[in-house]
Amino acid sequence: MKEETIENKDDIVSLGKKLAKLRLAQGLTECDIATKIHVRTSIIQDIENDRVINVPAIFYKGYIKNYADIVGLPENEYQSYIDTQLNRPSIQIIKNYSNKEQTKRYTKRILVISLFIILMIVGITAFLVWRDNKTELVEVTHYISPPTSINS
């Protein structure tokens, strides 16, 4: 009885192992498959090792479908695997590739630098004008009254 269970476990081959086995039977490398479906080789390795790939579900489904089509695996043999993997609870993190935040930060930095330069120019100008006006003034330390006439 124990031998039967061991044989049954050997008969159950994961989707990744099936895909790898079919790929090797056709003489293809992981790089060949990656090139054909336009992904990194590490994604092909993750699929073959049944690792969870942190990509949106639609991409994951497309990777499996395209890989299976290339190696000739019928849809009925991988569809149930896709359904169970897509129903797994996971957090999908999608990177924001827009430059909006970076542009906002850059614009804010330019504004601060511009205001600083303008304030420096106004301050230096005010100082120079004040200094020039100060030197033109005659400092009177004592006042001499005009002579008064004695005749009056």
For 64-122, the pLDDT digits (tens) are 889 888 998 888 887 877 777 666 555 555 666 667 777 778 888 999 999 999 999 99
**Side chain identity, residue 17:** K
Q: What is the mean pLDDT of the chain?
A: 78
Does residue 86 or residue 17 have the better pLDDT?
17
**Euclidean distance between CA atoms 16 and 82, whole angstroms:** 12
HSE-up (13 A, CA, CB side) for residue 127 = 6
**Euclidean distance between CA atoms 137 and 133, whole angstroms:** 7
**Euclidean distance between CA atoms 21 and 128, whole angstroms:** 83
Q: How many helices (H) and strands (E) does the chain have?
A: 7, 0
**Euclidean distance between CA atoms 134 and 132, whole angstroms:** 5
Reply yes or no on whether the pLDDT at 135 is more than 50.
yes
Q: How do the residues of the chain divide into helix, strand and coil, expressed in percent and rounded to 5? A: 65, 0, 35
∠ CA 75-81-86, nearest 5°, is 115
Q: Which residue's structure tokens are 């542009």?
A: 103
Residue 134 backbone dihedrals phi, psi, to 5 degrees: -70, -35
| Average confidence (pLDDT) over 7-22 | 71
pTM higher than 0.75 = no
Q: Which residue's structure tokens are 């849809």?
A: 75
The reported pLDDT for the residue numbered 139 is: 62
Instruction: Find out whether 15 and 63 touch, Cβ atoms under 8 Å.
Output: no
**Euclidean distance between CA atoms 65 and 37, whole angstroms:** 10
